[in-house]
Chains A and B, each alone.
Chain A
Amino acid sequence: MYDFELLKPATIDEAAAMLAEGDAQALGGGQTLIPTMKARLAQMDRLVALSGIDAIRGVCTDDDGRICIGGGTSHATVAREYAKSYPALASLAGRIGDPAVRSRGTIGGSLANNDPSACYPAAALASNATIVTNTRDIGADDFFQGMFTTALEEGEIITEVRFPVPEKAAYEKFIQPASRFPLVAVFVAKFADGVRVAVTGASSDGVFRWSEAEQALSDDWSADVVAGLAAPGAEGMISDLHGDGAYRAHLVKVMTARAVKGAV
């Protein structure tokens, strides 16, 4: 790692001020950023650790019945807290990385990084979550803007993520066996006004909504309906050692059908 100064703000305002000054970067749980820094692929003068800000840790439910998760909340906490009220989300959080990664990794860090193979972006997009920052609220459809790219401005901090709870939902993940990230994973969420289907791992543009499936499932909520759809096009799908574009496209369909079948 290149050396840096580690700053430990206690409040969001302090953190924002630190991030506004010079070459600084925010550190969430560090489960992606620290390995990146170890490989010397990231360099900064000052690293602002968000782990000391109590205000962005923890979970609650708002007046609209949405579940609100502080940006600094660990995957382990989400997995534990929502096993009953939003089991699909809890199940997703409980399968990210491994237990040690889940102790440190945070929802805010995962969403801000928007790795094309991360789990949380699929949940946020399919649930039509609102990403709350220290300056504004951003809808999930506007938040994700392609691989490793989001609507966040320099220095903007995710303080909370608000998830409407669907009637039914499930997350089906087919893992890339080495990294354990999704090779393809699909989050399906059925709301009263329609179905949303978000796919991660597959596209070189990052998480995306599979609109054909959403349309079909909104009309007829059944796994068989998915079987009747053509798989999304293989162009634009990631092709690597672990699977080519055609395979990933095929898996999108398989995982979507399984998610519908398993939705609770």
Chain B
Amino acid sequence: MPKDTGIGASTPRREDVRFLTGKGRYTDDIDVAGQAHVVFLRSDVAHGRIASIDTSAAEGVEGVVRIFTSKDFEGVGGIPCGWQITSRDGEVMREPKHPILAEGKVRHVGDPIAAVVAETRAQARDAAEAIVVEIEDLPAVIDMKAALAEGAPRVHDDLPDNLCYDWGFVEENREAVDRAIAEAAHVTTLDLVNNRLVANPMEPRVAVGDYARHDGSSTLYTTSQNPHVIRLLMGAFVLGIPEHKLRVVAPDVGGGFGTKIFHYAEEAFCTFAARALERPVKWTSSRSEAFMSDAHGRDHVTRIELALDADHNFTAVRTQTLANMGAYLSTFAPSVPTWLHGTLMAGNYRTPLVYVNVKAVFTNTVPVDAYRGAGRPEATFQLERVIDKAARELGVDPVELRRRNFIREFPYQTPVAVEYDTGDYDATMDCLLEMIDRDGFPARRAESEARGKLRGLGINCYIEACGIAPSKLVGQLGARAGLYESATVRVNATGGLVVMTGSHSHGQGHETSFAQVVADMIGINEDQVEIVHGDTANTPMGMGTYGSRSLAVGGSAMVRATEKIIAKARKIAAHLMEAGEDDIELKDGKFTVMGTDKSVAWGDVTLAAYVPHNYPLEDIEPGLEETAFYDPNNFTYPSGAYACEVEVDPETGKVDVLAFAAADDFGNVVNPMIVEGQVHGGIAQGIGQALLENCAYDAEGQLLSASYMDYTMPRAHDFPMFQVDHSCRTPCTHNPLGVKGCGEAGAIGSPPSVVNAVLDALASGGHDVAHIDMPLTSGKVWAAMQGRGDK
């Protein structure tokens, strides 16, 4: 029976009421009295030397307050990078300065050159147009292979080869992997591209900087997934503002998907300018501006080789990837193609030997960083595609080939550093096959063929590492931050409580699901629990929300803090009932002396904590407020099996997704409704990547997909209803809730099954197409059917 309250219940979301009535408070809804507006003048060329900037005419435009260029930022730090990678040769990665406003050169279309602060946004834009900038064009490097070629133009003058790092993992395994591949009974090789994407949360980024003259403190309102991280990076590394003089507020945030993790120049600018001008400064990104200033995602070019023995056991995997960093290093960019990617290359399989090589490359494009899944979709895609290709080459069933190689004993130490704690890959595959009626597929295919259409079925598995992450481990791997999470639980005298969490909700529904957990632990109504997040002034230092970590890490901190609360409340209850602490039981919001009918209500205990007339003051302090920081000792490992059924129109190449099914193992589930919503959204983004979305540059570095007129956002009629199931549960063994995280799974697991399905459909029509690079647009699929595809 589904529960109707607490952990496991599909409690309707409390935050919905304000969103459904227009009462949400997003950053752009915040206007601070006296605010001025900033508009950035951005480069319209991909690469060039700034010869001169003449602001004299612009300064005369009505309403202009001040115009800033890089000269105003002398002595101000660049935007920092939060993760350092070490190359195979032991050298640390190259880390060029990322200035707030371009210094000397522009390095991508959209690179900000100057900033105009004016009374209104329109005036600021008028003035920005009046700035005269002379740029000497330089040849742009867009393609990664060209960027690494000898004599290529340099994105950064002091970096001769545009290489950020050359990473090998596990370097000690390299020779053994080479040998295993040389000696294998069969080797399947696949060259593929993981297409560049733009995250496109529906709310564009906004920043409002404010400065308080009376105490010299700064406040930044910003569209962030992690306000404390922004406070730390911007305060300590860019502007030199101590954290006690800097408050960062991320109110309602309209989606993030990774792109709102990072610290951006516009945030630093607004904070800096507000202090310089002693008045609030607001920036609101347009969507067109977002396309050239939000960090992009993915953009890998990969060759993967899978070696098998005569019995079709996987013996080795070797991959070489070029990963695009763009023109500068965004906050967590270096970690994405390395630790978030290489560590997943074992997948769900017992492959004993794995070697991953990644060269990160600077190009004259927008910086690339984490986007939903971050590294793990890239790993899953190449592995699950090469397995399908191997199955076809060997003439074996792709599901059976996977099953033959499944890991079945846990914990399982992979050859790529991580240790999976739990999982049951047969169970999710069984569940999937039941959902999709695989046996009925031939009949469905025949029905499609009768209508002149080609039908295909694609299946794949995935595993991901999330619940990011053990601080000690990531520190060894180059992270410049810890990745714990925090919670303060403040119980009020009348028994209601407030949880202040370092996690941040921008669509995930924490205000509801977190309250379910705490209410369940104490046995009170969910509406007695309020969740506060998104403001550094009233939440403990936390690392925010990404990497499917909120419940696994932030929820664990909250559980720990609540446990401390309960322990203390038990002491108070024991005192009130004159009983031994060990004899007290908390159930349904009531402390009872076990084996008696003696009890005291939760509210009486909390009242006693704040009105301590009858209270064990000699043992414990008054009040009832506890903080916990939780640092996980491993990642969590959600896994699953996904299937996609498509129909291809052979006349036009158009692909229609007819069915999509996902069987996930997320461990324990707090709110099934929210979990399913997360999976739906992830699948939609994964299908979007596979069929529709593509961030494209031309050879000169002009962004071709610079608005929704050319960047295909999936719409309602691009999808069928999804079938999702999360009944296979192997709870995480190392966090108190046994949860694994569900935010990214859909986006990680879905692209390979879509591509596998399309190729299966084409094969049924006699088109022997080994691979088509994403997105599988109708034009590309049609060309492939004409025998003139990419490969």
Q: Which residues of A contact B (CB under 8 A)?
A: 1-3, 39-40, 174, 177-179, 240-244, 247, 250-251, 254
Interface residues of B in 631-663 (CB under 8 A from A): 651-654
Chain A residues contacting B288 (CB-CB under 8 Å) are 39
User: Chain B residues with Cβ under 8 A from A177's Cβ?
Assistant: 692, 712, 718, 777
Cα–Cα distance between A244 and B696 once the two chains are bound (Å) = 15
Given contacts A39-B288, A177-B692, A254-B651, contact A244 B779 (CB under 8 A): yes
B122 surroundings in chain A (CB, below 8 A): 1, 3
B783 adjacent to A247 (CB under 8 Å) = yes
B556 at the interface (CB under 8 A from A): no
Q: CB < 8 Å: which of A39, A241, A247 contacts B710? A: A241
Partner of B652, one of A1, A3, A40, A251: A251
Query: Per-position contact with A for B758-791: 1 when CB-CB < 8 Å, else 0?
Result: 0000000000000000000111001100000000
Does residue B562 face the partner (Cβ distance < 8 Å to A)?
no
Establish whether residues A250 and B704, one from each chain, have CB atoms under 8 Å apart when the complex forms.
no
Interchain CB contact under 8 A, A254 and B652: yes
* Chain A positions within 8 Å of B777 at CB level: 177, 242-243
Overall SS of chain B's interface: loop
Within the complex, which residue of B652, B704, B783 is in contact with A241, where a contact is CB–CB below 8 Å?
B704
Contact for A250 among B126, B696, B782, CB less than 8 A: B782
Q: Does B705 belong to the interface (CB within 8 Å)?
A: yes
Q: Which 10 A-B pairs have the closest CB atoms?
A: A243-B779, A178-B712, A179-B709, A247-B779, A177-B712, A254-B651, A178-B710, A241-B704, A241-B696, A177-B692
Q: What residues on B are CB-neighbors of A179 within 8 Å?
A: 708-710
Question: Is B782's CB under 8 angstroms from A241's CB?
Answer: no
Instruction: Select from chain B the residue with minimum beta-carbon distance to A244.
Output: B779
Residues in B neighbouring A3, C-beta threshold 8 A? 122
A146 shortest CB reach to chain B, Å: 21
List, in ascending order, chain A residues with CB within 8 A of B705's CB: 178, 241
B711 at interface (Cβ–Cβ under 8 A)? yes
B694 at the interface (CB under 8 A from A): yes
* A121–chain B nearest beta-carbon distance, Å: 19
B616 to chain A, nearest CB (A): 65
CA distance A215 to B227 in the complex (A): 67
Closest chain A residue to B783 by CB distance?
Answer: A247
**Given A3-B122, A241-B705, A250-B782, A178 and B651 contact (CB-CB distance below 8 Å):** no
Give chain B residues whose Cβ lies under 8 Å from the Cβ of A247: 653, 779, 782-783
Where chain A touches its partner, the secondary structure class is loop
Q: How far is the CB of B687 from chain A (nearest CB, A)?
A: 12
Q: What residues of A have a CB within 8 angstroms of the CB of B709 in the complex? A: 178-179
B778→A243 contact, CB < 8 A: yes
Instruction: A65 to B783: give the CA distance in the assembly, Å.
Output: 45
A1 to B121, CA, bound (A): 10
Hey, which chain A residues are within 8 Å of B696, CB to CB?
241
B474 within 8 A of A: no
B481 part of interface (Cβ distance < 8 Å): no
- Chain B residues whose C-beta falls within 8 Å of the C-beta of A39 in the assembled complex: 288
Q: How long is the Cα–Cα vector from A250 to B778 in the complex, in angstroms?
A: 12
Q: Are B779 and A242 in contact (CB under 8 A)?
A: yes
B566 on interface, CB distance cutoff 8 Å: no
- A247 to B781: give the CA distance in the assembly, Å: 11
Closest to B286 in A: A38
The contact string, 1 if C-beta is below 8 Å from chain A, for chain B 33-71, is: 000000000000000000000000000000000000000
Quote the shortest CB–CB distance from A65 to chain B (angstroms): 36
Residues of chain A contacted by B783 (CB below 8 angstroms): 247
Chain A residue nearest to B653 in the complex (CB): A247
User: Chain A: which residue is nearest B718 at the CB level?
Assistant: A177
Query: Which B residue's beta carbon lies closest to that of A247?
Result: B779
Q: A230 CB to closest chain B CB, in angstroms? A: 15
Indicate the member of A39, A177, A240, A251 with the most B CB atoms within 10 Å: A177
Residue of B nearest to A3 (CB): B122
| Chain B residue with Cβ nearest A254 | B651
In the complex, which residues of chain A have a beta carbon less than 8 angstroms from the beta carbon of B654?
A: 174
In angstroms, Cα B288 to Cα A241, docked, is 18
A178-B711 in contact (CB<8A) = yes
Chain B residues 704-732 with CB under 8 Å of chain A are 704-705, 708-713, 718
- The answer to whether B778 and A178 touch across the interface, beta carbons within 8 angstroms, is no
Q: Which residues of A contact B126 (CB under 8 A)?
A: 2
Given contacts A2-B126, A3-B122, A242-B779, 9 further A-B contacts (CB under 8 A): A174-B778, A177-B712, A177-B718, A177-B777, A178-B705, A178-B710, A240-B710, A247-B779, A247-B782
- Contact among B653, B708, B779, B782 with A178 in the assembled complex (CB-CB below 8 Å): B708
A179 to B710, CA, bound (A): 6
